[in-house]
A and B are shown apart, each in its own frame.
Chain A
Amino acid sequence: MNAPAETVRGGVAGWFEERLRISGLLAALLHVRIPVSAQTYYLGGISLFLFGVQLISGTLLALYYKPTADAAYESVKYITSVVDFGWLIRSVHHWGATLMIASVGLHMGRIFVQAAYKYPRELTWMFGVLLFAVTILFGFTGYLLPWDQKAYWATTVGTEIAGGVPLIGDALLNLLRGGADVSDATLNRFFGMHVLVLPLLLAGLVVVHLTIVHQLGLASPRHPEPRPVRRGGPAQPVDEPLKPFFPHYILDELIAWFVVLAALVVLASVLPAGLEDEADPLITPQHVKPEWYFLSVYQLLKIVPRTIGIVAPMIAVAILLLLPFLDRNPAVAKRRRPLALSAAVLAVIGLVALTVWGAQS
């Protein structure tokens, strides 16, 4: 990409451009067009923004956090009550996690409703499901770190569920806990997962996800993507009104981020992250409850036989992953997808009902 001499501007931008020759790449990344009818609700971008918030607040927390069973609780207490703005950082990280899981879930819902997972975006969707799984794992591993009673016992119950997985349950339980019980060893591996493995994994998956999104452009919620007429031939042209991605869409996205930031600030100030008594393996609290996003599985486990309660969510994830191949209907209009949409509505009702039930019982 040899830029002709006449396009080189002066000033700082020009100085850098001469040395980086990057304007072509930026133009390719930013100056794309998206269908006017595309309605993303900015949820993918919000998920990305929240991931950024979690990276920054998490890094700040790591400055004071001590990942050992002896010191973890005290260090979290220290962060919350002594460190300047420690309470804010911790509360932002706490609420950021909840909002991120919510926004990733809603993003997935938007993709489903608009049928954006269909040809040619099957891989975008599958990487998305992996992103969803990693986000949930973030929540699961992070929950233990404060090492209070809630953290300890929710993790005890959570890992026990993993221990019920057919065939590999025992090995999985041992792998997760690093021993027979939730202990210092568990805390260490959860910490390692939470601050090293999962962030790298999520970042990598996001890069792949967004690259594919960029390459394919946003889906039209009105027309199915045309297939090539014959092998290697050009796509059938579709008359679709387009608008620029930059700066129009980016500006809207920015406004959405500010709104989410405002929500985050309010939640962190009004309902700051708390801390229960320090974890005590000898005292089982009366009510052990997981975070809200695990309540449905938790409640399901209480009402059906153990194996079913464990295998059913695994099958659900498998169905999600393979959805683009299971749903062969090419239509994107809602009227023409009655089966997929009613199945989804039922699934959501079931999920919400189980969550509410789990929260109340």
Chain B
Amino acid sequence: MTSRRRRLGTGRLQLLRLAVVVGGLVALAAVGVGGAVAQDGGSSPSPTASAPVGPTASGATGDTNTCRTCHSAIDNVQHEITEAWGASVHAQAGINCADCHGGDPTSDQVTVSMSVAAGFRGTPGRTESVATCGDCHSDVTRMRQYQIPTDQYAKYRASVHGEQLFGAGDARVAICIDCHGSHDIKKASDPTARVYPLNVPSLCASCHSDTAYMEPYGIPTNQLAIYSESVHGKLLLDESDLRAPTCVSCHGSHDAKPPSSAEVVGVCGRCHTATQALYEQSRHAELEIGPKCWTCHGNHDVVQPDESRFFHPKPPSIDCTTCHNPVDRSLVLSADRFTNDDDRRCDTCHHPDSLLYAQAEGIHDALATAAGAYDAAEAKIREAAGVGMIVSDADVELAGAKTSLIRARAAVHTTKLTDVAALADEAESKAGAAQAIAEEKLDDALRRRAAMVIVLALIVVNVFALILIRRRLDHSYAGASNGKPRANVLS
């Protein structure tokens, strides 16, 4: 946020300075070549409507980039800009100052190189800059060699950001350079890039967590805080696991827009493919008003689910009209999303006296039994390991139980009691087998201890016998030497 404001400030300063330098000339030349100034992208569906500018158009290569030669010497700010550009992907690909700013980079006469006649455009305005980027980035021919997509401009126009910019003329929304930088553009795969996945949450939050900045739009600003505590956020931010979704994984990046209720299953299913397939088989999926992923799991605050997710500790009081039309009994409840995690439970919608509640209860009980068997087996195995037994065979069996339990939990999404129960039974019996192995080992450990006691007893008997013999020897020896050890000469 603040950095963007700073960038805007720098841009204005730059403009001022340019105006001083070329002021007079511009006034003269503008009369003739006014049309050459790039049009506002907002009014044109395609950025290529303006004259295409690009590497071939500017003709600036390596040492003929006079912009750089002069600007790096003007002051620190200008110097840093040229340095940042020098380190960017654009510099690597030979995209020079003039490709975005216009002008003639082959002339070392400021009056020529920065003249309107030479196509000089100064710093593009915020709206205009989107079209400037789009000019090249929508051009399939030009982008082919870099293997990067060309639909970003189109996607951007369809995003909330783009609609706001082009539709409402609101230039406060995010534009290309806010996320990618302007002179210092880096590849998204570069870990130091602002758009590198690990950096995305803080990048989005730089505007979206700013309460003052977001105020006019009336949208919440606590998403990053909530996301950071979620399974997804912890995985990404704490463990740097790039498989975890960032903001853009669900909202889109160039096409950023919150997924709708109709879209959310597909969005989650992009990663949770198997779970989505199970969900599609369910009664929930058949109903238009049926619960979606986020109805039970939330969105930014997704946590690791377990069996406690089924029911409230105490059933909430709901009456028929909460869900049904009192006249024709049709469903009227639209269970889309619950902000309060405690409400994301089966019995929020299913009344304890209903048949469906009984089914949910059956599913819950099957899972709870299997999970209990798993925990018990695991505890027994740890106990056996604790007394020094090797438990790797039991661990293998337990891993099998875990797989079945995971599959049973996933099958909850089908809402089919038979499916869940079959897998839960499988998990329970595997856990039982693992526990049996562990118990066998514990018995073994007990037997070893019993054997140890017997061996110790034998040793004690032997030691006593030896002590007796020793006593007798001492006696006879003392007798032979008249109770005194014999003196001798040591040699």
Q: Is the beta-carbon distance between B470 and A217 smaller than 8 angstroms?
A: no
Query: How many A-B contacts if CB must be within 8 Å?
Result: 84
A237 touches B455 (CB 8 A): no
Please tell me if the beta carbons of A240 and B488 are within 8 angstroms of each other in the complex: yes
Is the Cβ of A248 less than 8 Å from the Cβ of B473? yes
Q: Is the CB of B452 within 8 A of A36?
A: no
Nearest Cβ distance between residue B399 and chain A, in whole angstroms?
Answer: 14
Instruction: For B470, give its contact among A235, A242, A252, A262 (CB under 8 Å).
Output: A252
**Bound-state Cα–Cα, A243 to B474, Å:** 10
Nearest-CB residue, chain B, relative to A239: B487
Given contacts A251-B470, A270-B449, contact A77 B489 (CB under 8 A): no
Judged by a CB distance under 8 angstroms, whether B313 is at the interface is no
* Stretch binding the partner chain, chosen from B65-73, B244-252, B360-368, B460-468: B460-468
Q: A241-B487, A243-B485 known; A77 and B392 CB under 8 Å?
A: yes
Q: Which residue of A lies closest to B453 (CB)?
A: A269
Does A348 make an interface contact (CB < 8 A)? no
Cβ-defined partner of A255 (8 Å) among B389, B455, B463: B463
Given A244-B477, A247-B473, A255-B463, residue A269 in contact with residue B448 (CB < 8 A): yes
How many residues does chain B have at the interface if contact means C-beta atoms less than 8 Å apart? 29
**Whole-angstrom CA separation of A252 from B463 in the bound complex:** 10
Interface centre among B459, B463, B485, B490 (most CB of A within 10 A): B490
- Is B6 engaged at the interface, CB distance under 8 Å to the other chain? no
On whether the beta carbons of B491 and A80 are closer than 8 Å, the reply is no
Residues in chain A near residue B462, CB distance under 8 A: 258
Given A235-B491, A241-B485, A274-B388, residue A251 in contact with residue B473 (CB < 8 A): yes
Verify if A220 is at the interface (C-beta below 8 Å from B). yes
Across-interface contacts of A35 in B (CB, < 8 A): 490
**Does A158 lie at the interface of the complex (its beta carbon under 8 Å from any beta carbon of B)?**
no
Beyond A217-B490, A254-B466, whether A265 also contacts B452 by CB under 8 A is yes
Q: What chain A residues lie within 8 Å of B463 (beta carbons)? A: 255, 258-259
SS class of chain B's interface: helix, strand, loop or mixed?
A: helix
Q: Which of B392, B449, B459, B487 contacts A240 (CB 8 A)?
A: B487
Residues 69-96 of chain A, each 1 if its beta carbon lies under 8 Å from chain B, else 0 = 0000000010011000001100000000
Residue contact B390 to A248, C-beta cutoff 8 Å? no
Please give, as numbers and ranges, the residues of chain A lying within 8 Å of B455 by CB-CB distance.
265
Interface: A261 (CB within 8 A)? yes
The answer to whether B451 has its CB under 8 Å from any CB of chain A is yes
Instruction: Give Cα distance in the complex from A220 to B451, angstroms.
Output: 43
**Which of B390, B456, B486 lies at the interface centre, i.e. has the most chain A CB atoms within 10 A of its CB?**
B390
Q: Is A275 on the interface with B (CB-CB < 8 A)? A: yes
Assess whether B486 is in contact with A275, with CB atoms less than 8 Å apart.
no
Cβ of A168 under 8 Å from chain B: no
A242 touches B388 (CB 8 A): no
- Minimum C-beta distance from B477 to chain A (A): 7
> Is B393 part of the contact surface with A, judged by Cβ < 8 Å?
yes
Minimum distance in angstroms from A217 CB to a CB of chain B: 7
A262 with B392: CB separation less than 8 A:
no
| Cα(A87)–Cα(B477), bound, Å | 45
Q: Are A33 and B456 in contact (CB under 8 A)?
A: no
Min C-beta distance of B480 to chain A, whole Å: 11
B469 at the interface (CB under 8 A from A): yes
- Cα–Cα distance between A274 and B489 once the two chains are bound (Å): 54
Cβ-closest chain A residue relative to B484:
A241
Q: Could you jot down 19 A-B contacts, CB within 8 Å? A: A33-B488, A35-B490, A81-B393, A234-B491, A235-B490, A237-B489, A237-B490, A240-B487, A241-B486, A241-B487, A241-B488, A243-B477, A255-B467, A258-B466, A262-B456, A262-B459, A265-B452, A265-B455, A269-B448
Q: A240-B490, A248-B477, A251-B470 are in contact. List 6 more A-B contacts (CB 8 A).
A: A33-B488, A237-B491, A240-B487, A243-B485, A251-B473, A275-B390
Chain B residues with a Cβ under 8 A of chain A: 388-390, 392-393, 448-449, 451-452, 455-456, 459-460, 462-463, 466-467, 469-470, 473-474, 477, 485-491
